[in-house]
Amino acid sequence: MRVVAAMSGGVDSAVAAARMLDAGHEVVGVHLALSRSAATLRESARGCCTIEDAGDARRVADRLGIPFYVWDMAQRFQRDVMDDFVAEYRAGRTPNPCLRCNESIKFTALLDKALALGFDAVATGHYAQVVERPGADGVVRRELHRAVDPLKDQSYVLGVLDADQLARAFFPLGDTTKPQIREEAAARGFSVAKKPDSYDICFISDGDTRGWLTSQLGEKPGEIVDAASGEVVGSHAGTYGFTVGQRRGLGLERSSLGAEPRYVVGVDAPSNRVLIGSADLLGVDLIAADHARWCGPAPAGEVRVGAQVRAHGEEIPAWARVDDTDPQVVHVRLDSRIRGVAPGQSVVLYDGPRVVGSATIASTDRAAAPVPTSA
């Protein structure tokens, strides 16, 4: 099989490419240039896609003896990931750019280009597993499952893949822990064996999301309002600097709030207000989500699932039902309330270790009957 190995310049994608080669595939390494003005060097473990990263990827490819190319996808990344990120925050939502990148760049733009050039599949260094199971009709279908290493599991950010994309995706690291990957990289003589992982948002290399958004959107002063009383208790420079569940960085005098901690309980972008309240206002157990993406057949009727709303968050037992009138909308009813769920985040649904699909949270609410709250 002819496979494009997406090589970021890190240790995970290096070992993934090597394993695909060991498995007998014809492998070509591809580094995605996602920035129009890539930095020369990484800033510690923040960010990625620098010129240094491209060089690291090329050295691994040379050691493996495979062809290596850099594909320029900066314009597509700007439009589908960065511009979307800004637009979501402008609208008062909290997006996950990693899911958008996987959906729009790595498993749409990259895969489409690979197929157009005659390749059969794409391999990445994500920590997840693809399990093949025969269906009742005898046809073997591919399922997306959690990785064996719960600390590195990335099935959440891959929940946007549909069945066709999953059929042409390989995740060679899903059965291995991160320490084992580093040991393997060292044994193979890869210079990236001890390279630190990248984290945070790749296009905000200093980790200052609020500052970056301010540079994109400018300051937009507004009011901070107590959700219970309606009293104006402070001011802000832009609603995009706040997300539901946030406690730090509110810029309020503790003495004016009383002894009880206050959290962001709502971001009202149209009125340019940030709503704050006590912790008991944060718990929700009803989620309505749109832009549904299914890793296989869409659920029929109300089904029992596990629901996860953060990349490394707790999985909550729940019921899920696709909307009767709009198949892109899914309704989720959690067994227990969970705090800090913001519109724009993704809810990923699981059946045991199998990823059922994902959707973007549009709104949250509380069931009439009280249920326990999960932190």
Q: Which residues are catalytic?
A: 101, 202
Distance (Å, whole) CA 242 – CA 89: 9
Distance of CA 360 to the CA centre of its chain: 11
DSSP state of 86: H
Ordered alpha helix ranges (H), 203-361: 209-217
Contacts of 332 (CB under 8 A, 6+ apart): 286, 287, 288, 289, 305, 307, 318, 319, 320, 347, 349
* Sheet containing 2-6, strands listed edge to edge, beginning at the edge strand earlier in sequence: 68-72, 26-33, 2-6, 121-123, 169-170
Q: Which among 211, 209, 206, 235 has a CA at the least distance from the CA of 223? A: 235
Distance (Å, whole) CA 355 – CA 159: 6
Distance (Å, whole) CA 139 – CA 117: 27
Residues comprising the chain, all counted:
375
Ordered alpha helix ranges (H), 65-192: 74-77, 83-90, 97-101, 110-116, 163-166, 178-187
Q: How many CA atoms lie within 13 A of 363 on its CB side?
A: 4
| Identity of the amino acid at 360 | T
On the 0-12 / 13-18 / 19+ scale of CB atoms within 10 A, 155 is buried
